[in-house]
A = this chain, B = another copy of it.
Amino acid sequence: MKVEEIPDPAVYRLSFYLRQLEAFRHLNRNTISSKQLGEALGYTDAQVRKDLAYFGQFGHPGIGYRVEELIARLKKILGTDKDCHALLVGVGNLGRALLTYKGFPRKGFHLVAAFDSDPGKIGRRYGELEIQAMSEIVRAVGTLRIRMAIVAVPPESAQDAVNQLVKAGIRGILNFAAVSLTVPEDVFVQSVDLALQLEQLSFRMSLGTIQNSLAAPM
């Protein structure tokens, strides 16, 4: 199996499966079938089996999936079975907001270093971190053994920042700059599309208004 063979949306489905399994665990469910897991999320059972088959064999004949076991294995696959350190590049408005975003540590993600190219910001403290110069990235990545970075710089500076990160040994980049980035094959970029979230909301709101047209014969 190669990374390219797994389509992006399948990656999202893995996160949804995990969240749904955690909800089942909360309800004290010990086992679950692909049909039940699928139904809770609106997938066919074939889709669930196909998705999980990318990663191994998880079901037990006559039992289905063991909830606790599947949670542990999905977390391992997602790489979230242990705490993860990341660095931040770009301490503007967005960067400062991310430094104090409570959702990261809650899921085991910890920002352990922050960098900016603005000399006026270097040496200043935000939260628990002192902002460092970009030239310190290589040393920090080596010392702290960081493999993941969040890029929150203006679009025009993003590629340059990413080049420095890749050179320093970073292998995963969460990109908030609304531009495409060029990286080597062994580096992964996850781009955040906040407009997609508004589109989703827009969908839910407009659903009410299309119900009438759906009720009409088509």
Residues of A within 8 A of B (CB): 1-3, 6-16, 40-44, 46-47, 50-51, 55-57, 76-80, 84, 86, 92-94, 96-98, 100-104, 106-107, 109, 147-148, 150, 155, 171-174, 178, 186, 188, 190, 192-208, 210-211, 213-214, 218
- On whether the beta carbons of A193 and B78 are closer than 8 Å, the reply is no
Given contacts A6-B207, A50-B44, A203-B77, contact A198 B178 (CB under 8 A): no
| Copies of this chain per assembly | 2
Interface residues of chain A: helix, strand, loop or mixed (majority): helix
B contact residues around A174 at 8 Å (CB):
197-198, 201
Separation of A199 and B144 alpha carbons in the complex (Å): 20
Separation of A147 and B202 alpha carbons in the complex (Å): 10
**One of B2, B6, B101, B196 near A178 (C-beta < 8 A):** B101
